[in-house]
Amino acid sequence: MTPAEVSAALVAWFDEFGRHLPWRPDEDPYRIWLMVVMLQQTRVETVLPYYERFVAAFPTLADLAAADDEAVLAAWKGLGYYSRARNLHAGARELAATYDGRLPEEPALLERLPGVGRYTAAAVASIAFDAPAAAVDGNVLRFLARYFADDGDLASPKTRARLERLATSLLPPSGRGTHNQAAMDFGALVCAPVPRCDGCPVRAGCAAFARGIQGTLPKKTAKAAVRTERLLVARIRDAAGRTLLRRRPDSGLLARFWELPNVPDDGADPVAAFAVAGLDLTLGATLGEARHVFTHRLWILRVVDARLIREPAPDALCRWFDDPHGATLPKAFSKTLEFPE
């Protein structure tokens, strides 16, 4: 099959079976950018309600640029990978300050925005502006490795660069955004981890299928092992039923989110560890254990009932909440509120 035939077959398949995403009306570049970022490492069906909620809160790029950090994180709450929300917010402010509140059309300029890499820039530029850029995500890499029978390791920069060049060779002279969406959906739904070759519209040109090796491709180095961290979480409530939360640091995992006070559950004296953090308290019974998985990290949170001896020190960054679920509380800590007294 020629490149033109491959692209036409993918687009025809996409017209009938593809996932047409809600960034209309008018292919708004801001909404395209938002959806592309939300879809990073997250399934479409998971993203859609969060996308609708976020757009309702910030319908335009100007609205997002003018919002405060707390409001943005609250609208993103539950979707995970919160650095995406912070980068979107910072990018919107940068665009408001330097590009008259508009997304640039060139992928190279988009890559200058916080958190925007080659894939995101190519996807946004091609879908919003028909830029000649191939959007190559993990689904597209899998399709390309099979179609061209490339047995290079996807973890290798050389392999990725080679496959990206092949992706560019398949781009049509126009309609690149539709082509890119078709390739991404095709990789997700047909050329999936377990390939569905019976429904493949480009099977006639697939080198891996011709050799019967589609099930062995692509090659990829095994992922790093998940690191386990154990935390002792203090659930502290006052006589009025309020819950004490603590602000997380300005950088690192879940930066600036609220959390229930916690210390490492490593066998050391937890009361002393809480005291170092500005909290003088007594610990009571264990209420339960929660688990939360990040990309390369597992948290095991042992939740205990606790009582304050005195109000927290000012530098402890603590605050009482009538409804802790109303705070920007990550899912990992929301779970710890569910255990009965």
Q: What is the pLDDT of residue 272?
A: 96
Query: Using an 8 Å Cβ cutoff, are 257 and 245 in contact?
Result: no
In this structure, how many other beta carbons lie within 10 angstroms of the beta carbon of residue 249?
11
Token pair, residue 220, equals: 């990829």
Q: What is the pLDDT of residue 80?
A: 85
Q: What is the pLDDT of residue 19?
A: 84
Q: What pLDDT, in 10s, does the model give residues 262-298? A: 999 999 999 999 999 999 999 999 999 999 998 889 9
Which residues of the chain fall short of a pLDDT of 50?
none
Query: In order of start, what are the domains of the chain with their CATH numbers?
Result: 3-216 (1.10.340.30), 227-337 (3.90.79.10)
Residues 6+ apart with CB under 8 A from 331: 78, 80, 292
Cis amide prior to 218 (ω within 30 degrees) = yes
Q: What pLDDT, in 10s, does the model give residues 17-28? A: 998 777 655 679
Q: What is the pLDDT of residue 314?
A: 84
Q: What is the pLDDT of residue 25?
A: 52
Q: Are strands 297-308 and 227-236 parallel, antiparallel or unpaired?
A: parallel
* pTM attached to this predicted model: 0.81
Rounded Cα distance between 62 and 30, Å, is 10
Residue 132 φ then ψ, to 5°: -80, 70
Q: What is the pLDDT of residue 23?
A: 67
Residues 6+ apart with CB under 8 A from 263: 231, 232, 270, 273, 274, 277
